[in-house]
Amino acid sequence: MHRRRAPVVHTFRYRLAVFALDLDELDELARTRRLFGVNRGNLVSFFDRDHMDGRAGSTKDKALAFLRAHGVGLDGGRIVLLTQCRMFHYVFNPVSFYYCHHADGTLRAVIAEVNSTFGERHLYLLADGNRLPAAGDRRRHLAAKVMHVSPFISMDAAYEFRLAPMTDRLSVFMAEREHGQPFFDAHLWGRRVELTTRRLAWLVVRYPLLTVQIIAAIHWQALRLYRKGVPVYQQPAPSVAQRDQGELMHHLTKEVAQ
**pLDDT greater at residue 1 or residue 152:** 1
13 pLDDT more than 80: yes
Between β-strands 19-22 and 44-46, what pairing exists: parallel, antiparallel or unpaired?
Answer: unpaired
Instruction: Give the predicted TM-score (pTM) of the model.
Output: 0.92
As a whole number of angstroms, the distance between CA 6 and CA 4 comes to 6
Structurally, how many domains does the chain consist of?
1
Task: Quote the domain boundaries for residue 11.
Answer: 2-257
178 pLDDT more than 70: yes
User: 176 and 169 in contact (C-beta within 8 Å)?
Assistant: no
As a whole number of angstroms, the distance between CA 26 and CA 18 comes to 15
As a whole number of angstroms, the distance between CA 214 and CA 216 comes to 5
As a whole number of angstroms, the distance between CA 245 and CA 121 comes to 10
Percent of the chain with pLDDT over 90: 54
As a whole number of angstroms, the distance between CA 42 and CA 204 comes to 11
Output the 3-class SS for the chain: CEEECCCCCEEECCCCCCEEEECCCHHHHHHHCCCEEECCCCCEEECHHHCCCCCCCCHHHHHHHHHHHCCCCCCCCCEEEEECCEECCECCCCEEEEEEECCCCCEEEEEEEEECCCCCEEEEEECHHHEEEEECCEEEEEEECCCCCCCCCCCCEEEEEEECCCCCEEEEEEEEEECCEEEEEEEEEEECCCCCHHHHHHHHHHCCCHHHHHHHHHHHHHHHHHHCCCCCCCCCCCCHHHHHHHHHHHHHHHHHHC
Residue range 126-145, pLDDT digits in tens: 999 898 888 888 899 999 99
Q: With cut-offs at 50, 70 and 90, classify the pLDDT of residue 23.
A: very high
Q: What is the mean pLDDT of the chain?
A: 90
98 pLDDT more than 90: yes
257 pLDDT more than 80: no
Residue range 26-68, pLDDT digits in tens: 999 999 999 999 999 899 999 999 999 999 999 999 999 999 9
User: 220 and 227 in contact (C-beta within 8 Å)?
Assistant: no
